[in-house]
Amino acid sequence: MADRPPRKASKAEFCKLDPQVVESDGKARTWITRGGNFAVAVSEVDAGARLERDANPEEYMVILPPGNASARIEAGGDAIDAQADSLTIVPPGRSRITVTSNGLIARIFSKASEDIMALAGNADTYADGAPELAPPTLWPEPYDGYRLRHYPLAQYAKPDGERIQPRVFRSTNMLVNLFVHYKTRRDTSQLSPHWHDDFEQASLTLNGRWVHHMRYNWGPNLASWVPDDHAEMSTPSVIIIPATVVHTSRDVGEGESSLYDIFCPPRLDFARKKGFVINEAEYPLPDAPEDDTIKTGGSLLAWQKPG
């Protein structure tokens, strides 16, 4: 094992941080948190705010949380009036989001969006290029080519269903799991401490309070060992969980809670699980050896296991 101190989790609680970007008209304030291969940009927006990309090199995702902002999203000659509680995949190139009602908007960018990566509040954490991670390979283009793809999310929630309802979508360059929001708290006898060998996980939480339990591997140098971390975080917030760190998250306190997981590049284990990725019919799988599939270990819930 390399004698390198482990990379620490990045934690961004927006109520404790200044936004990295404030639009000149003051209508959008954006907090940017990066991992090795992606960045999560969460914007507090007023109606009329415009979030534009002149020439984004790859697809990016736009999450409009429930009970929150709505926006017109334009790209590739198409336009969509996106309501709250939706996900939109934006094609490479020029695009514009025009906010039509106040709230929060989350955008997920890949490493190829170098300007966004450089703006991240935790950019210094990744100055070494994160050599422990698998490279962010781009998966094959969608069957019908790049275009705006829009998914209203309520249709994928079962009001009387299981407490944990994963809702997974992917693009050529990332995969998100937008869990149905929670009304009750996680059973602390049913946690799922696990790790990922060579990729990171961002957990974006917009409602409630969350405790992210994390255990770091020991290396040969005692001086570099990191104590167990049981970070309790307010929302909205983002945590970047490094590769190999054992982790499990639980919500605490009262009321509604929400958590969205983000992986970049997409996870092969999830993508190969038939029927698990909601928009799987739109994107071809990459050619990859079967033994590349599993990069996750530990205690897994049934839905987390490969199909």
CB neighbours of residue 158 within 10 Å: 8
Decide whether 148 or 243 has the Cβ nearer to Fe ion: 243
Decide whether 224 or 299 has the Cβ nearer to Fe ion: 299
Contact 271, 170 (CB under 8 A): yes
Report CA 90 to chain centroid distance, whole Å: 15
CB of 170 to Fe ion, least distance (A): 16
What single-letter amino acid sits at 143? Y
CA–CA dist 254, 185 (Å, integer): 8
CA–CA dist 23, 234 (Å, integer): 25
Decide whether 146 or 199 has the Cβ nearer to Fe ion: 199
CB of 261 to Fe ion, least distance (A): 7
CB of 246 to Fe ion, least distance (A): 9
CA–CA dist 121, 234 (Å, integer): 18
Name the 3-class secondary structure at 205: strand
Residue-wise burial string across 243-252, b where 16 or more C-beta atoms lie within 10 A, e elsewhere: bbbbbbbbbe
Decide whether 101 or 293 has the Cβ nearer to Fe ion: 293
CB of 96 to Fe ion, least distance (A): 33
Decide whether 63 or 202 has the Cβ nearer to Fe ion: 202
CB of 213 to Fe ion, least distance (A): 12
Report CA 113 to chain centroid distance, whole Å: 15
Q: Give the containing element (helix H, strand E) for 39.
A: strand 38-45
The token pair at 100 is 């039509």
**Residue sitting closest to Fe ion (CB):** 201
Decide whether 52 or 197 has the Cβ nearer to Fe ion: 197
Which residues here bind Fe ion, judged by CB under 5 A? 201
CB of 196 to Fe ion, least distance (A): 6
